[in-house]
């Protein structure tokens, strides 16, 4: 492993192998603004004219380039050597790259991937020079298209309002893994059942000829380093499913919650003729999220959500977390302010963010970046990318809600359009086909179709903070029957849908900024930190009086580029005393 490379930690902590090679660091790099590279066979190049520090995108200062102009075709190149024999498959993994990735090894085309938020991989073995130098070349294409899921990346030439610098190219860790050619564990799906005190384990294997040898898989489950369960089974097919009791000798289990984020370790050992050929380490939390009688329950108890909107941007690295410690620090700050969760807004984050949320105890709403225009091609591509993300993040106990759409972005006509409504229904049911347990908020903010939770975004009262109580207290019936509007003319439900008694959460409000700072916030700014605290205090006292709200989400954790309405600035400095923020966040005790 090279020394002093950025993001040196293992990038996929919920499916961890010991033998791997980090490819972060210095790569050669080129812009290809006229898109001539493939025609000119740049994939055979052994170097380009610029240098870039992966995994930071060329728009960022940390990359060494810091060019925020539009460049839609970019190339990366580096060499590497693997110190393994030919009996190993070599897999190239990407945490994420935005948007269309094409890979060549030693001049040979390996494969391509479309998407900006999900992890993906390619097998390199057929074209690899084992124990010798290899030339890896990558082309990535991006656009300003409103058809691609892009979230808060500006679809104009420059930043505007709450849309920021784009993320083009590799923006998460790139690494190699070495796997046995005969067989290896492809993935596992871990589903806790706290009522039965069981963990449901779905194993998927990639295998060759299973009759040619004796294959067995050993599973060990531990809590606090003490073995709870250990069992082995023969492998003669590609998939298995077992339900395993994880109770202790006192017939008890250790539940996961924000207050007590208990995690069980689970390790997998694959044997061929009693020789170990693959091993993977993982973990899970025994956690249940459910809805009963308009209440959200965590582990069968009412759970009032105090969330903060978190967009995951940093001044020098943009969307790429600068370090593992930076991710951990954000979660520490959120918890210190007495929030119990975060709405990770318009971004699927680096996997280690969810790892730290699992480990430290923070509930998360997982939300993909939106498209901004509806078309048939959006339906197909968005659905495919979303389902890959749900599968990738499924095992994280911290994630308690899926959010595929936000504020009718990309589905602007959803209030009346049956096509767009049916699109959201399709995504809802596809999500439920993979994960029937977690709630799905199909269109966060307003104009809900089928949705497990009804949510409200409202900054209308930002000039008169007491307007929250005027609009919402004792007014639930009119709102859920679409007899009244909120937030500048929005309806709670789309046409053809009726309220079914779902929980209601006030999932965006606040957004206050200082008057004397460059940039913007929502509505009337505040003069100083005293007024900031007073204004938020008023809002939360008003929210407290709306008895049908089952939680809230304050906008937002940090400033992001031109949007200066965080409780912290971009460098994670508090704008008001921590003790005061913590105090107002304790106004509601449910």
pLDDT at 584 over 70: yes
Write out the residue range of the structural domain in which residue 208 sits.
183-284
Residue 439 sits in the same domain as residue 576: yes
The verdict on residue 7 lying in a domain is: no
Asked if residue 24 and residue 134 are part of one domain, the reply reads yes
Report CA torsion sign: 297, 298, 304, 307: negative
Number of domains in the chain: 3
pLDDT in tens, 291-315: 999 999 999 999 999 999 999 999 9
Predicted pLDDT at 460 = 66
CA 502 to chain centre: 25
Q: Write out pLDDT tens, residues 409-463.
A: 999 999 999 999 999 999 999 999 999 999 999 999 999 999 999 999 998 655 5
The CATH number of whichever domain residue 174 belongs to comes to 2.60.120.260
270 in the same domain as 414: no
For residue 485, the model assigns a pLDDT of 92
User: What number of other Cβ atoms are within 10 A of residue 514's Cβ?
Assistant: 18
Domain match, 402 and 529 both: yes
Secondary structure (3-state) at 416: coil
Residue 14: inside a domain: no
The answer to whether 414 and 406 are in contact (CB under 8 A) is no
If asked whether residues 112 and 55 sit together in one domain, one would say yes
Task: Flag whether 30 is in a domain.
Answer: yes
| pLDDT tens-place string over residues 73-123 | 999 999 999 988 899 999 999 999 999 999 999 999 999 999 999 999 999
The CATH number that applies at residue 355 is 3.20.20.80
User: Quick one: pLDDT band at residue 521, thresholds 50, 70, 90?
Assistant: confident
Looking at the domain assignment, is residue 456 inside a domain?
A: yes
pLDDT in tens, 325-342: 999 999 999 999 999 999
| DSSP code string of 484-523 | S-BTTTB-SB-TT----S--EEEEEEE---BTTSSSB-SS
pLDDT of 208: 81
Looking at residue 300, what is its pLDDT? 98
Which of 156, 179, 202 lies at the terminal end of a domain, its last residue? 179
The Cα 66–Cα 57 span in angstroms is 8
Looking at the fold, whether 384 and 275 belong to one and the same domain comes out as no
Q: Is residue 9 situated within a structural domain?
A: no
> How many H helices and E strands in the chain?
8, 29
- Supply the pLDDT for residue 3: 63
pLDDT at 437: 97
What does the pLDDT average to over 345-359?
98
Residues 341 and 419 in one domain: yes
Q: Say whether both 173 and 237 belong to one domain.
A: no
102 and 166 in a single domain? The answer is yes
d(CA 444, CA 147): 19
Question: Would you say residue 360 has pLDDT above 60?
Answer: yes
The least confident of 1-15, 25-39, 245-259, 384-398 is: 1-15
Asked if 406 and 442 count as a contact pair (C-beta separation under 8 A), the reply is no
Output the DSSP codes for 307-367.
EEEE---BTTTBTS-S-HHHHHHHHHHHHHTT--EEEETT----HHHHHHHHHHT-EEEEE
Same domain, 174 and 204: no
Of 242, 265, 284, the position where a domain reaches its end is 284
Q: Are residues 257 and 164 in the same domain?
A: no
Task: Provide the 10 A C-beta neighbour count for residue 515.
Answer: 11
Does one domain contain both 245 and 326?
no
Domain limit, last residue, from 179, 211, 240: 179
Residue 1 pLDDT > 70: no
Establish if 589 belongs to a structural domain. no
CA dist 532 → 258, 340, 510, 549, 567 (Å):
27, 21, 10, 23, 9
Structure tokens at 18: 């010991």
């Amino acid at each position: 492993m090279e020394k002093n490379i950025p993001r040196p930690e293992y990038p996929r902590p919920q499916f961890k192998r010991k033998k791997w090679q980090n490819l972060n660091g210095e790569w050669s790099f080129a812009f290809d603004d006229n898109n001539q590279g493939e025609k000119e066979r740049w994939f055979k190049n052994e170097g380009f004219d610029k240098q870039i520090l992966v995994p930071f995108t060329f728009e960022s200062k940390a990359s060494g380039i810091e060019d925020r102009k539009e460049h839609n075709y970019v190339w990366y190149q580096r060499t590497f050597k693997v110190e393994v024999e030919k009996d190993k498959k070599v897999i190239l993994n990407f945490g994420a790259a935005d948007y269309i990735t094409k890979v060549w090894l030693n001049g040979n085309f390996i494969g391509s991937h479309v998407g900006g938020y999900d992890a993906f991989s390619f097998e390199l073995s057929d074209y690899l020079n084992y124990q010798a130098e290899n030339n890896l070349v990558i082309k990535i294409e991006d656009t300003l298209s409103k058809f691609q899921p892009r979230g808060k990346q500006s679809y104009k030439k420059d930043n505007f309002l709450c849309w920021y610098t784009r993320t083009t190219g590799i923006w998460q860790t790139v690494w190699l893994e070495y796997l046995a050619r005969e067989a290896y564990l492809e993935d596992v799906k871990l589903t806790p059942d706290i009522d039965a005190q069981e963990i449901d384990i779905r194993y998927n294997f990639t295998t060759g000829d299973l009759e040619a040898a004796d294959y067995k898989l050993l599973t060990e489950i531990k809590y606090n380093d003490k073995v709870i369960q250990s069992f082995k089974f023969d492998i003669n097919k590609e998939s298995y499913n077992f339900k395993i009791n994880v109770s202790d000798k006192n017939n008890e289990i250790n539940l996961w919650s924000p207050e007590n984020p208990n995690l069980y370790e689970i390790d997998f050992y694959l044997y061929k003729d009693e020789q170990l050929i693959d091993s993977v380490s993982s973990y899970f939390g025994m956690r249940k999220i459910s809805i009963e009688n308009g209440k959200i329950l965590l582990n069968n108890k009412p759970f009032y959500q105090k969330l903060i909107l978190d967009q995951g941007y940093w001044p020098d690295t943009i969307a790429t977390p600068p370090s593992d410690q930076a991710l951990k620090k954000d979660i520490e700050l959120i918890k210190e302010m007495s929030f119990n969760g975060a709405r990770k807004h318009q971004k699927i984050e680096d996997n280690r963010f969810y790892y730290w949320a699992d480990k430290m105890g923070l509930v998360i709403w997982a939300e993909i970046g939106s498209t901004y225009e509806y078309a048939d091609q959006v339906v197909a591509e968005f659905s495919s990318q979303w389902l890959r993300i749900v599968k990738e993040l499924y095992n994280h106990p911290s994630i308690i809600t899926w959010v595929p759409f936000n504020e009718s972005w990309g589905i602007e006509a959803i209030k009346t359009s049956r096509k767009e409504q049916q699109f959201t229904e399709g995504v809802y049911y596809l999500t439920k086909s993979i994960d029937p347990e977690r709630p799905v908020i199909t269109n966060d903010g307003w104009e809900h179709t089928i949705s497990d939770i009804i949510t409200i975004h409202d900054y209308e009262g930002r000039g008169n903070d007491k307007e929250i109580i005027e609009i919402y207290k004792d007014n639930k019936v009119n709102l859920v029957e679409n007899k009244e509007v909120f937030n500048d003319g929005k309806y709670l439900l789309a046409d053809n849908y009726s309220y079914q008694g779902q929980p209601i959460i006030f999932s965006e409000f606040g957004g206050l900024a200082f008057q004397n700072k460059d940039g913007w916030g929502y509505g009337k700014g505040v003069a100083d930190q005293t007024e900031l605290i007073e204004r938020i205090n008023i809002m939360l006292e008003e929210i407290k009086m709306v008895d049908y709200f089952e939680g809230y989400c304050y906008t937002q954790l940090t400033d992001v580029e031109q949007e200066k309405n965080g409780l912290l600035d971009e460098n994670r400095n508090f704008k008001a005393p921590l003790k005061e923020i913590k105090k107002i966040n304790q106004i509601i005790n449910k």
